């Protein structure tokens, strides 16, 4: 090694050692008689010191040619610092330098390489290799590394086998759009990149692998929203001879292990909630349960009093902001503006202040008496000093809007502590969703999800009512994973494809191999997949998965650093038997 130590490891006990360090110049301070250099590497920062008196002119000349981000190799003696820096682990010592050498120079970087940088997003992405030098960014990827290792440690300890499934697979029209890869050897034909290894992991269960996992790249050619990437990583798992409870236990175990080993946190019990309750009490299938503020439905007490807005609404539903009766008119107006934003789309917001003196003041006093409002308060378990907020309208739409309001209030009132973690399972999802546009059912999870055992019979008669044997894990309002007990019976799988409007030919063409496999002794099985990028960002306390991906793409699917995608040569196109259109 060109160095004897890293820039993060020298301590007071190392005083008098002759050492050699390598790293980047973080800062040079030249105060005439003395020069200090902060030398940085992945492991930390160590201070180099030069006394003009004791340093040869050649060395001084070298130093004075150096600038930020030069790569340096420097030897000298560890000495105790006169004024110690207790903010860094190496702060008790510095290096009295006898030799120094620039291993490489650096132009002035386009932005400041510190936690607080002056570089905008575009610039930092173009020079991602410099952005990654910032310790705040590097720590995200170190966290990711640790999450990967600990995930494997847990699953390996539970007898899961890591199996790599193919990346060049087959395009299927079901679900999101595939990325495709033209085949040169089979002209006119294409591979697809996997949206998930779903069918392969099921085949591995048919093969008797019993417990499979993989931390695996998946691909979706979707128009990108803020928090989506065309390639993303999943922790993908599958188990045989299990029922739902076994999966829930095993993967509570995984999350518990990750919190403990990566963050030193003992996670509380993972609660369970039905999809129906989640929608009813939180208006979301991924409720943030770090705080209560559950919905109360008010149709029975709020309708029939002549207030047409409520009377004509499918749902009247409210939440209580505990202790916020003192909110000013202006503050309440701001909440009203919030829910009326187009992306939330409520028509208005009704408020009821439950004053400290027990009186009630609302925006609908014209229609409701104090007694009426007291009934609401009782139903909502509001106390004097609380603020009640009520929305109304079409059921799903109103629930969505109130969910947004609840989350905003949770944030405003400081109820969403980034250091608190609350995990829960959402259970009993509907198996199928009716799609108005295509006038057919879609699988809410995917076509391989089984119905709850007792509800299979309903699949023919009332498919919309069937509950899936599926589960999502939600942490702090973020869906981090989901899965299901799968269908393992060919007949039932066929029925499912039929319910989804596949004709037999299509089903055969796309999933024939899986249907065939089910005829050769497929065991009962189920599994789960975690969105690994999101899980990392949750652990890191960030909202953006991009911060946890070394080389992310932008919202147009471009890597602006390497300038990709890009044109390819005519020769390449010819070999693939392809032509560009228009």
**Residues in region 226-285 near its own copies by CB under 8 A:** 230-231, 233, 240-243, 246
- 345 counts as binding its own copies under rule CB under 8 A: no
For its own copies, the binding residue among 11, 29, 145, 570 (CB under 8 A) is: 145
- Return the H-helix or E-strand segment holding 97: strand 93-104
- 128 counts as binding its own copies under rule CB under 8 A: yes
Distances (CA, A) of 488 to 21, 300, 333: 60, 45, 55
Residue 581, phi then psi, degrees to nearest 5: -100, 140
Report in angstroms how near the CB of residue 226 gets to its own copies at its nearest. 15
Place of tokens 């919190």: 259
Report in angstroms how near the CB of residue 446 gets to its own copies at its nearest. 17
Residues present in the chain in total: 582
Site for its own copies in 62-101 (CB under 8 A): 69-71, 73
For its own copies, the binding residue among 50, 127, 354, 441 (CB under 8 A) is: 127
Residue 16, phi then psi, degrees to nearest 5: 80, -5
Long-range CB contacts (within 8 A, 24+) of 113-119 = 113/26, 113/68, 113/69
Nearer to its own copies, 87 or 581 (CB): 581
Report in angstroms how near the CB of residue 187 gets to its own copies at its nearest. 8
For its own copies, the binding residue among 46, 165, 403, 452 (CB under 8 A) is: 165
Report in angstroms how near the CB of residue 254 gets to its own copies at its nearest. 16
Nearer to its own copies, 218 or 346 (CB): 218
For its own copies, the binding residue among 48, 204, 293, 401 (CB under 8 A) is: 204
Report the phi/psi class of residue 159: left, alpha or beta, with left for phi > 0 and alpha for psi in -120 to 50: left
CB 311 within 8 A of CB 304: yes
Q: Helix H segments across 108-197?
A: 121-126, 128-131, 135-157
Report in angstroms how near the CB of residue 36 gets to its own copies at its nearest. 19
Count Cα atoms within 13 angstroms, Cβ side, for 51.
7
**Among 435, 440, 429, CA closest to 468:** 429
Residue 504, phi then psi, degrees to nearest 5: -60, -35
For its own copies, the binding residue among 34, 503, 550, 570 (CB under 8 A) is: 550
For its own copies, the binding residue among 271, 381, 462, 575 (CB under 8 A) is: 575
- 203 counts as binding its own copies under rule CB under 8 A: yes
Distance CA 248, CA 243 (A): 9
The SS3 assignment for 397 reads helix
- 173 counts as binding its own copies under rule CB under 8 A: yes
Query: Which tokens sit at 86?
Result: 């207790």
Distances (CA, A) of 376 to 110, 182, 277, 306, 324: 59, 63, 20, 16, 17
CB 72 within 8 A of CB 39: yes
For its own copies, the binding residue among 11, 29, 42, 465 (CB under 8 A) is: 42
Report in angstroms how near the CB of residue 138 gets to its own copies at its nearest. 7
- 506 counts as binding its own copies under rule CB under 8 A: no
Query: Which tokens sit at 232?
Result: 């993303």
Among 200-208, 273-281, 293-301, 471-479, which window interacts with its own copies (CB under 8 A)? 200-208
For its own copies, the binding residue among 89, 109, 175, 345 (CB under 8 A) is: 109
Report in angstroms how near the CB of residue 243 gets to its own copies at its nearest. 7
For its own copies, the binding residue among 29, 84, 217, 440 (CB under 8 A) is: 217
Nearer to its own copies, 201 or 399 (CB): 201
Query: Which tokens sit at 564?
Result: 């990709």
Nearer to its own copies, 221 or 311 (CB): 221
Among 49-57, 223-231, 471-479, 492-500, which window interacts with its own copies (CB under 8 A)? 223-231
For its own copies, the binding residue among 88, 123, 169, 515 (CB under 8 A) is: 169
């Amino acid at each position: 090694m060109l160095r004897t130590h890293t820039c993060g490891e020298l301590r007071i006990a190392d005083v008098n050692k002759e050492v050699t360090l390598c790293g980047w110049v973080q800062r040079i301070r030249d105060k005439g008689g003395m020069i200090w250099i902060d030398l940085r590497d992945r492991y930390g920062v160590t201070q180099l010191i030069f006394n003009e008196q004791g340093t040869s002119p050649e060395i001084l000349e070298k130093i004075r040619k150096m600038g930020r981000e030069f790569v340096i190799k420097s030897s000298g003696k560890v000495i105790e610092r006169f004024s110690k820096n207790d903010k860094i682990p190496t702060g008790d010592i510095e290096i009295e330098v006898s030799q120094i050498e620039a291993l490489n120079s650096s132009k002035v970087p386009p932005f400041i390489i510190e936690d607080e940088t002056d570089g905008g997003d575009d610039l930092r992405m173009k020079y991602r290799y410099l952005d990654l030098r910032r310790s705040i960014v590097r720590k995200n990827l170190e966290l990711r590394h640790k999450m990967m290792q600990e995930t494997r440690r847990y699953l390996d300890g539970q007898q899961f086998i890591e199996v790599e499934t193919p990346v060049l697979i087959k395009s299927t029209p079901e679900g999101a759009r595939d990325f495709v890869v033209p085949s040169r050897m089979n002209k006119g034909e294409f591979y697809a990149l996997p949206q998930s290894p779903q069918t392969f992991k099921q085949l591995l269960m048919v093969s008797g692998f019993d417990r499979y996992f993989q931390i695996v790249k998946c691909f979706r050619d979707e128009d990108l929203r803020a928090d989506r990437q065309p390639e993303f990583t999943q922790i993908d798992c599958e188990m045989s001879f299990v029922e739902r409870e076994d999966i829930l236990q095993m993967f509570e175990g995984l999350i518990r292990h990750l919190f403990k080993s990566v963050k030193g946190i003992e996670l509380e019990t993972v609660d369970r909630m039905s999809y129906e309750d989640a929608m009813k009490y939180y208006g979301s299938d991924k409720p943030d349960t770090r705080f209560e503020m559950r919905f109360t439905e008010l149709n029975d007490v709020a309708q029939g009093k002549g207030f047409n807005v409520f009377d004509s609404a499918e749902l009247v539903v409210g939440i209580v902001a505990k202790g916020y009766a003192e909110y000013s008119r202006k503050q309440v107006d701001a909440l009203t503006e919030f829910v009326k934003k187009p992306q939330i789309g409520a028509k208005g917001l009704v408020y009821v202040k439950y004053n400290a003196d027990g009186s009630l003041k609302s925006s609908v006093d014209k229609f409701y008496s104090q007694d009426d409002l007291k009934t609401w308060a009782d139903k909502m378990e509001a106390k004097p000093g609380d603020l009640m907020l009520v929305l109304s309208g079409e059921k799903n739409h109103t629930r969505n809007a109130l969910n947004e309001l609840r989350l905003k209030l949770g944030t405003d009132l400081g109820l969403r502590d980034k250091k608190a973690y609350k995990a829960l399972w959402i259970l009993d999802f509907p198996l199928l969703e009716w799609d108005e546009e295509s006038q057919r059912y879609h699988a809410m999870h995917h076509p391989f999800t089984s119905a709850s055992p007792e509800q299979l019979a309903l699949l023919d008669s009332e498919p919309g009512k069937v509950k899936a044997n599926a589960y999502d894990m939600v942490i702090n309002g973020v869906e981090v994973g989901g899965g299901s007990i799968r269908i393992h019976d060919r007949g039932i799988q066929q029925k499912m494809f039929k319910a989804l409007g596949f004709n037999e030919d299509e089903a055969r063409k796309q999933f024939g191999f899986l249907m065939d496999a089910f005829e050769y002794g497929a065991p009962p099985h189920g599994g789960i997949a975690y969105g690994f990028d999101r899980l990392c960002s949750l652990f890191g306390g960030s909202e953006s998965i991009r911060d946890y991906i070394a080389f992310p793409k932008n919202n147009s699917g471009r890597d602006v650093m390497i300038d990709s995608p890009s044109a390819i040569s005519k020769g390449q196109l010819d070999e693939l038997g392809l032509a560009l259109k228009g």
